[in-house]
Amino acid sequence: MSGVHVILIPAFEPDERLVDLVRALGSGDAVLVVDDGSGPSFAPVFAAVTAAGATVLAHPRNRGKGAALRTGFEAASVRWPAASVVTADADGQHTPGDIRRVAAALEESDGTAIVLGARSFVGGAVPARSRFGNVVTRALFRLATGERLTDTQTGLRGYPASTLPWLAALPGDRFEYEFLLLLRARDAGVALIEVPVATVYLDGNASSHFRPVADSARIYAPLLRFAASALVAFTIDAAALLALHTLTGWLLFSVVAARVASASVNFAVNRTLVFGAGRTVPLRTAAARYFSLAGLLLIASYGLLTALTDLGVALLVAKLLTDATLFAVSFAVQRAVVFAPAAAAAVRSARAAPSPVPARE
């Protein structure tokens, strides 16, 4: 690591707290603010931010936090090509001390990890919707990846310079972007580490632009679509399994035939609707990967079904238990291998390339 950091702050209709934060950060690191279409009435705030020493970029219209972050990542990689990036929110939730703490942890990681400033979510000042949202996203993240994080919603994060091309290529324009990059970090060969930071909510987090229904739907969309696809496949699989087993009494044949039918439907749905980037993977390649995974899951499913039914568990109940167990494994492998977007390779190639000489203004 070069020791150069860019503090990136996406801002939509900010107040004086943004100006105070930029002033408090001082001149140690470059500060890059992206005005996400706040409009003319907020021009005085951004003028004060510029006067305080920050570089300000502007979107002509509001595009969302994810789009603002991508704009900042792209600009940082051009203006400061060897610099790591620390992102912070514009509403005063992240203190200068905690921003520097994340930057220091990023330095210590030697460019091998994304650093998350993790809040504790304890105390009466934490809004109920924030506490509940974090509990839900933590559970879904662990289900999808097997990793345990304290705070999946934090906007205070440190990104190594080598990850910037990958970050700029990730989809998502609004709050779902930050959750999606956590889901795909392992696929890109980047670890996730947490450092504790203060839990700060001002005025009950009234300044937040997070829309609980619309933005939650965006955040959870990949898992919800996968769950819906899995439910359709499960229904086909279970119905075929019960019908074939009733007709033949042969469990192995019934499991295999039912799984072939349900897997074919599941592959088509996941490739087109769940993992959109999977459409960039050649059909033959994706199909080979998927059905190889399906074969392994079939063996595991048959083994678990046999074990449970031998213990006296009813077939339908055994089927429910088996598929619930294999759900998270299937999602993680399909996302990481079967429909893995090519952009994930950018991080590995960037890390292998020689580091450029950092540019300073």
| Residues 15 and 77 grouped into a single domain | yes
Do residues 338 and 286 touch, judged by C-beta distance below 8 A?
yes
Q: Give the angle subtended at the CA of 76 by the CAs of 4 and 210, to the nearest 5°.
A: 110
CATH of the domain at 21: 3.90.550.10
Last residue of a domain, one of 157, 186, 210: 210
| Residues 58 and 160 grouped into a single domain | yes
| Residues 160 and 16 grouped into a single domain | yes
| Residues 155 and 258 grouped into a single domain | no
CA 14 to chain centre: 25
| Residues 55 and 204 grouped into a single domain | yes
Range of the domain at 250: 220-341
Predicted pLDDT of residue 324: 80
C-alpha distances out from residue 37 to 33, 70, 83, 304, 360, Å: 12, 15, 26, 54, 27
Going by the DSSP 8-state scheme, the letter that residue 41 receives in this structure is: G
| Residues 46 and 180 grouped into a single domain | yes
CA 19 to chain centre: 29
φ and ψ of 241, to 5 deg: -60, -50
Structure tokens at 103: 């930057």
Give CA–CA dist 242/319, Å, rounded: 10
Predicted pLDDT of residue 355: 46
CA 275 to chain centre: 13
- Determine, yes or no, domain membership for 358: no
DSSP string covering 43-68: HHHHHHHHHTT-EEEEESS---HHHH
DSSP helix/strand/coil, 300: helix
- Determine, yes or no, domain membership for 139: yes
Predicted pLDDT of residue 72: 96
DSSP string covering 66-126: HHHHHHHHHHHHHHSTT-EEEE--SSS-S-HHHHHHHHHHHHHTTTSEEEEEE----STTS
Last residue of a domain, one of 153, 175, 210: 210
| Residues 32 and 180 grouped into a single domain | yes
- Determine, yes or no, domain membership for 356: no
| Residues 188 and 229 grouped into a single domain | no
- Local confidence pLDDT in tens for the 361 residues of the chain: 446 789 999 999 999 999 999 999 987 789 999 999 999 999 999 999 999 999 999 999 999 999 999 999 999 999 998 899 999 999 888 899 999 999 999 989 877 899 999 987 665 555 665 667 677 777 877 777 778 888 888 999 999 999 999 999 888 877 788 888 888 887 788 899 999 998 775 554 444 545 555 555 565 666 677 778 878 888 998 899 999 999 999 988 998 899 889 888 888 888 887 776 556 678 888 889 988 988 898 889 889 999 999 999 998 888 888 888 888 778 778 877 888 655 555 555 555 554 444 443 4
- Determine, yes or no, domain membership for 155: yes
| Residues 66 and 154 grouped into a single domain | yes
Q: What is the number of domains present in the chain?
A: 2
Give the position of tokens 């580091």: 355
